[in-house]
Structure 1
Amino acid sequence: MRSRSTIVLLYSLFAAISIAANLGTQKVYTSVAPALYAIPVSVLAGTAIGLAVKFVLDKVWIFRYQHRNLAHGFKSFMLYSTMGIATTVIFWGFEFGADSIFGTEPARLTGGAIGLIIGYLVKYKLDKKFVFS
């Protein structure tokens, strides 16, 4: 069994990796995509990539969770995604709020990072109780 401090350290590291994947995907998308709807689509793409990265890292390293079969794995991912809906609202609220207030990409990405950090704090508790129990 891992100590609480090890779990906090790993979870923080994996959150940082997921945030980098999310915001990096957004940055790449907005650099190559047409301007029309680039921001909302980039946020959706970043959210999807960040979700997949975080699910794998959490499942393997934080919760040490084994799926019984492919169907069970799919069900776990869907439940994980469902728990992420509330935390995604937090994340998007901060990102789009910062974009609306300041109107710059650095502000939007900073708002997104703040929203993701807050969201991950909430998500850990939800995942521990409902997904990887």
Structure 2
Amino acid sequence: MKLAAMYALFAAVATATNIGTQDAIIRMYDGPFALLLSIIAGTGTGLLVKYILDKRYIFSFQARDIAEDSRTFLLYALMGVVTTVVFWGFEFLFEFVFATKEMRYLGGVIGLAIGYFTKYELDKRYVFGSRSA
């Protein structure tokens, strides 16, 4: 149960990082492709935060060297591709249906919650595997 609570907390931190980055980008830039750029930037910052927290506190993973850490991060990011499609799908759907930033962010939060649930299982099996705690 403690692991699930920690994972949920870290997902919330990464979600806040993601949505906060999106909001900051939108506030600084409102030109062409602003929404897409904000979502890409938010995805990147959320991914980095979540990777650092997951590898250390959820999977107790310590890479032997930078090459292993780089390979692990790449695999972690690849496992996130499908879950990112879910997240972006919800966010863009809410933007299309409701056309407000608050509802777009709500769609993003819902998509991230679904994605993080799925991503844990993928990471446990395929990214950190037998090296996890």
Q: Is 1:113 paired with 2:113?
A: no
Q: 2:91 maps to which residue?
A: 95
AA partner of residue 54 (structure 2): D
Any stretches of 5+ residues in structure 2 without a counterpart?
none
SS where residue 34 of structure 1 aligns? Answer: coil
2:9 counterpart of 1:7: no
1:76-131 deviations in Å (ceiling 9; x for gaps): 00000000000000000000000001111001000000000000000000000000
1:64 match: 60
Query: Which aligned segments of 4 or more residues in structure 1 are displaced greater than 2 angstroms?
Result: none
Identity of aligned residues (%): 46
Match of 2:19 in 1: 23
Report the counterpart of residue 124 of structure 1 in structure 2.
Answer: 120
2:92 partner letter: F
2:29 corresponding residue in structure 1: 33
Q: How big is the shift at 1:34?
A: 3.1
Aligned partner of residue 61 in structure 1, secondary structure: helix
- How many aligned residue pairs are there? 129
2:70 is paired with a residue of what secondary structure?
helix
1:84 to 80, 83, 87: 80
Pairwise CA RMSD: 0.5
Unaligned stretches of 5+ residues in structure 1: none
Q: Could you tell me which amino acid in structure 2 is paired with residue 94 of structure 1?
A: F
Distance 1:66 1:59 in 2: 7
Matched, 1:54 2:45: no
What TM-score does the superposition give when structure 1 sets the normalisation length? Answer: 0.96
